[in-house]
Amino acid sequence: MWLWLFAPFLIRNVIAANFDPTEFFKTRCEPKCVFEASNLNSTTIDKFPKNCATVCTDLAIDDKCDLTEEQLTATLQNMKHLVGSLIVISVKYTSELDFLIVLNNKMLEVGMTSLNTINCSSIAIDNNKEMTKLNMPNLKYMYPSEVNKTEIKVRIDGLSKKFCVTTQEMYNLMGVPNINLDSLEGMHCEPPVPLTNGKVCNSSYTLIYPTEILDECTQYFGSLVINPANEKDVSKLKSVEAIFGPLFIEKTNLTSIDFLTNLKFISTLGYDTAAVQVINNPFLSNFSFPSLKASLKIKTNSHNGVNDGVIFINNSYTLSEDPSFCNFFWAFLGVDGWLYPEFDGKSCDWDFRIDSSEIRPTASEEICEEHGFGDDDDLRSVNFSV
């Protein structure tokens, strides 16, 4: 569901006809940190600001680049912020410390381990058939470079069948509030990345076995399955911030889902199932996810035809009939190309909404209209003869 990044290195800014990059760069970087040449090669490498953490440039690395991987690594190793655009296309390297990435048949990873911020309009990593990982553990911030843009479109697909995203990289991506993750194909890398502050707990990949609910888990790697065998322990889940697998609650006696108070993200990358499934809980009449906000991304493989989304089936009558429950999730998932949340077969986009043009007036409303009375008229002293 959201679930949902790379082809040969490709990140470009869409520039208006009257846009002056020179003036724009002056407002973002010190003069010594502006790289005016667009192509990076043996002729221009000495002019690149190697000691700047933030570099302003429209950078291109292509098949005409005559630098070695070692030279590129040494040149770009201190750059943490790139303001402008970056294109890496049809290069001969097997790894890369750059960003626009497309049609690089030998590239195995992106490898920008120090990069933590990008200012651009779109990111694409596509059709790098041998790429198995990103290796971008510190990329946490993405900002649109255009004044009128509010989001950054990111697309990562067409990579190796073994391509995976680490839990750290996925957590960082889901934390970007203005990201539009158009496509992401792959799976979560194993094992999960250990946390400096917090605890990762492992769970089963399948939905068959109940999860062993432990104390003080910050993240669960695998499906979080709650059923009669472990529902007595759900109070321990208050510390959970992320689930790298689906949330599955079935056949419990729970009356409310009020124990995931710190849950921010769910990523079902690599799973062929809905991200949230709540099924056959007859007493369940309420839920609360107070840490979910507009930046929430519930992610699944959004373009592979699986049933991704939020599904509630055969719980209490209240959940099925009150549209506010369905609309709660719809506020996060209501984007083009995503499946709508479903509550007992009803989807928020249609079944919970009433077309006012199809509402017929009642008999009393027809009588009032016939006699010329409106909503503001006092009819207490009016006598009708039939």
- Beta-carbon contacts of 326 under 8 Å, excluding residues fewer than 6 positions away, are 341, 342, 343, 346, 347, 348, 352
Residue with structure tokens 């993405």?
142
Dist CA 182 CA 31 (whole Å): 35
Q: What is the pLDDT of residue 295?
A: 41
Domains of the chain: 21-189 (no CATH), 200-351 (3.80.20)
Q: What is the pLDDT of residue 91?
A: 61
41 closest CA partner among 24, 20, 64? 64
Q: Hey, how many other C-beta atoms are within 10 angstroms of the C-beta on 144?
A: 19
Residue with structure tokens 């479903």?
342
Composition of the chain by helix, strand, coil, percent to 5: 15, 25, 60
Q: What is the pLDDT of residue 348?
A: 75
Residue by residue, pLDDT tens for the chain (386 residues) are: 222 222 222 333 333 344 567 787 888 889 999 998 878 889 999 999 999 988 888 888 877 788 887 888 788 878 777 787 777 666 665 554 335 677 777 788 888 888 888 877 788 898 889 999 999 999 999 887 777 777 888 889 999 999 999 999 999 998 888 787 778 889 999 999 999 999 999 999 999 999 999 999 999 999 999 999 999 999 999 999 999 999 999 999 999 999 999 999 998 888 888 889 999 999 999 999 989 764 444 444 444 333 457 899 999 999 988 888 988 887 766 444 456 788 998 877 656 554 433 434 545 555 566 666 665 565 545 554 44
The tokens of 107 are what?
């590239």
Dist CA 45 CA 206 (whole Å): 51
CB 223 within 8 A of CB 207: yes
Buried b / exposed e over 92-124, threshold 16 CB at 10 Å, is: ebebbbbbbbbbbeebbbbbbebbbbbbbbbbb
- The string of DSSP codes covering 284-341 is --EE--TT--TT--EE--TTS----SEEEES--HHHHH-HHHHHHHHHHH-STTPPPP
What does residue 217 show for φ and ψ, rounded to 5 degrees?
A: -80, 130
Dist CA 341 CA 302 (whole Å): 14
**CB neighbour class for 346 (10 Å; exposed up to 12, middle 13-18, buried from 19):** middle
- Beta-carbon contacts of 322 under 8 Å, excluding residues fewer than 6 positions away, are none
What does residue 8 show for φ and ψ, rounded to 5 degrees?
A: -45, 150
| DSSP code of residue 254 | -
